[in-house]
Structure 1
Amino acid sequence: MKVSSTPIEGLLVIEPSVFRDDRGYFFEPFNDRRFHEATGLDVTFVQDNESLSKAYTVRGLHFQEPPVPQGKLVRVSRGKAFDVAVDLRKESPTFGQHHMVLLSEENKLQFWIPPGFAHGFLTLEDDTVFSYKCTGYYAPECERTLRWNDPILAIDWGVEEPLISEKDADAPGWTEYESPF
């Protein structure tokens, strides 16, 4: 397993060891001991989620506020997606900035997004399966959404009119949000 930092402190890109031969491949999407050793993080995952989306679907920007914030370890098991994390930590030098990673069935990369970040993704192929491990249980009273195309965040999704839920389309913008992180 190879772990790479990003320009935003706390966000990590994880490349698992993949063993390929003429039959195909084998890899461990998650191994608790190896994850802790490679990242130095002391986190416990309590819930796994999975979504299936058509091409050019945007989901996000989602997060949970305290008292039930969520860290997420995300990956694409089928298809391809641009994955985005936005820094919501007020004291961070990268507050309001984002980082994007291409996750795919082929590259098998994973993206660690700690609590204090909004998260979203754009699928690039039909039937993209997006999976994520969460450090906190889903708590609807703590769930929040930021507008995916807020001009202040300036995320270049590479698509003008994605498929998007009504909730995500009607989400508040950056200037309407007061971060508790």
Structure 2
Amino acid sequence: MSAVKTTEMAVPHAYRITPTQYPDRRGYFYEAFRSEELSELIGYPFVVRQANFSRSRAGTLRGIHGTVLPPGQGKLVTCVRGAVMDVVVDLRVGSPTFGRYDITYQDEESGIAVYLSDGLGHAFLALTDDACMNYLCSEVYVPGTMIEINPLDPDIAIPWELKGAPIMSDKDAGAVGLMEAAESGLLPGYEECLAHYAALRPPV
């Protein structure tokens, strides 16, 4: 029996993963990741090739970040301390849900994780001080392959729960909007992504 509950999000090929917790007088325990189950869910092997970690002050806004194809990069993201408003955005040009977003509230207590497939964008707002995020990535970082979209882009219109001006990197604050990125040819195509997923599936 699976130790997690999985739900496909409003953005196709993104999944919300909720673990089953086992509490006792010491605290609680849960399985955060099982390679075979995630691979079965997405339809092809998920191999962790890089793990990343970030720590953010309350009000920090990171993203929207993605990766061009090739190489692409699938991610399993989990808040391991504090709380965040986590957002997945469909960056695949030609997708029926292009530009759509879905929100997940993650915190250290729930253990909820989000998996986003290659071609999707990710951003989050730190709701607490010392918000720590863990990222398991299917590919290593390759310089020059990052996609940056402005998280405040009105064409996407994410309802960030800001209590003032967000804390952002210069790169994120100066990033282009979704439509400008699409017109420049920066974003992956939907059919290109579907072909990429199919190529990752093991032969029958």
Question: Percent identity, aligned pairs only?
Answer: 37
1:165 counterpart = 2:169: yes
User: TM-score when scaled to structure 2?
Assistant: 0.84
Q: Which residue of 2 aligns with 1:76?
A: 79
Give me the whole-angstrom Cα distance separating, in 1, the residues matched to 2:10 and 2:23.
31
Counterpart among 113, 126, 141 of residue 110 in structure 1? 113
**Aligned partner letter, 2:80:** S
Q: Which residue of 1 aligns with 2:146?
A: 143
- Structure 2 contact 91–120 (Cα < 8 Å) conserved: yes
* Number of residue pairs the alignment of both structures matches: 181
Give me the whole-angstrom Cα distance separating, in 1, the residues matched to 2:101 and 2:175.
18
Secondary structure (helix, strand or coil) at the match of 2:29 reads strand
Give me the whole-angstrom Cα distance separating, in 1, the residues matched to 2:169 and 2:74.
23
**Aligned partner letter, 2:57:** K
Q: CA deviation at 1:176?
A: 1.3
**Aligned partner letter, 1:139:** V
Give me the whole-angstrom Cα distance separating, in 1, the residues matched to 2:10 and 2:83.
22
Q: CA deviation at 1:41?
A: 4.3
User: TM-score when scaled to structure 1?
Assistant: 0.94
Report the aligned-residue RMSD.
1.4
**Aligned partner letter, 2:167:** L
Q: Deviations over 1:33-66 (max 9, x none)?
A: 2333455443222111000000010010111102
Give me the whole-angstrom Cα distance separating, in 2, the residues matched to 1:120 and 1:19.
30
1:33 counterpart = 2:41: no
Structure 1: gaps spanning 5 or more residues = none
Q: CA deviation at 1:78?
A: 0.3
1:174 counterpart = 2:178: yes
1:87 counterpart = 2:90: yes
Secondary structure (helix, strand or coil) at the match of 1:122 reads strand
Secondary structure (helix, strand or coil) at the match of 1:102 reads strand
1:123 counterpart = 2:119: no
Q: CA deviation at 1:19?
A: 1.1
Taking the TM superposition and a 5 Å limit, the aligned residue runs for 1:2-41 are 2-37=5-40, 40-41=43-44
Q: Tell me which moved more, 2-11 or 147-156.
A: 2-11
Q: Which has the larger radius of gyration?
A: 2
More helix by share: 2
Counterpart among 95, 99, 104 of residue 101 in structure 1? 104
Q: CA deviation at 1:29?
A: 1.7
Q: CA deviation at 1:32?
A: 1.3
More strand by share: 1
Q: Which residue of 1 aligns with 2:195?
A: none
**Aligned partner letter, 1:171:** A
Give me the whole-angstrom Cα distance separating, in 1, the residues matched to 2:180 and 2:38.
36
Give me the whole-angstrom Cα distance separating, in 1, the residues matched to 2:172 and 2:123.
10
Structure 2: gaps spanning 5 or more residues = 190-204
